[in-house]
Amino acid sequence: MKRIAPLLISAGALLWALPAKAVCPVCTVAVAGGLGLSRWLGIDDTITGLWAGALVASVTFWTINWLNKKNIKFYGRKILVAIFWYGLTFVPLYYMGITGHPYNKLWGMDKFVLGVIIGSIVFAIASKIYDYIKEKNHGKAHFPYEKVVIPVVALAVLSAIFYFITR
């Protein structure tokens, strides 16, 4: 029952989700779920990094949009928000010994860091692809939660590719 309760709560929360704005909360929760599941299953750090990178990118975009909505503007706002969230991600992981291990590398780079970089880029591109597709469809999504499906599918495909690269 302990494992089922969070799933039921999450499913119930989806029923009352607000309309999607910028990078929607549902997408952020989906990425966070993928991250937690991959770490729990002991999946390679590159794949975990993909999901973590997407989550950090999502939270960064979300924060910038929140600042825009509140009309909070200051010099270097976007880069400072990104530095804040990526720093909040990497600094604790470095001090906990999760990143920076000399034997945990792929292509000469820490696996988790590499995954975060690629995951962030792919998530941003997938979000832009959704915006483009929606614009071509007269401002309407083709199906419910299309905004969630496109980035999550892109990350899932990339996870499968990195699974075969790192196994």
Residues of the chain above pLDDT 90, percent: 37
Total-model pTM = 0.73
pLDDT at 39: 64
Q: Is residue 11 part of a domain?
A: no
Q: Residue 30: inside a domain, yes or no?
A: yes
pLDDT at 15: 42
Quick one: pLDDT at residue 147? 82
Residue 126 has pLDDT above 90, yes or no: yes
pLDDT value for 123? 93
pLDDT, position 100: 81
Per-residue model confidence (pLDDT) at position 21: 45
The answer to whether residue 48 is domain-embedded is yes
What is the C-alpha to C-alpha distance for residues 149 and 14, in angstroms, rounded to an integer?
14
- Total number of domains in the chain: 1
Q: Report pLDDT digits (tens) over 137-160.
A: 888 887 888 888 889 999 999 999
Q: From 112, 124, 15, select the one nearest 62 (Cα to Cα).
A: 124
- Cα–Cα distances in angstroms (integers) from residue 98 to residues 34, 36, 47, 93, 110, in the given order: 18, 15, 14, 5, 10
- Greater confidence (77 vs 96) lies with 77
Domain ranges, residue 97: 26-166
Kindly report, residue by residue over 20-36, the tens digit of the pLDDT: 444 556 655 665 566 56
Is 127 a domain residue?
yes
| Residue 5 placed within a domain | no
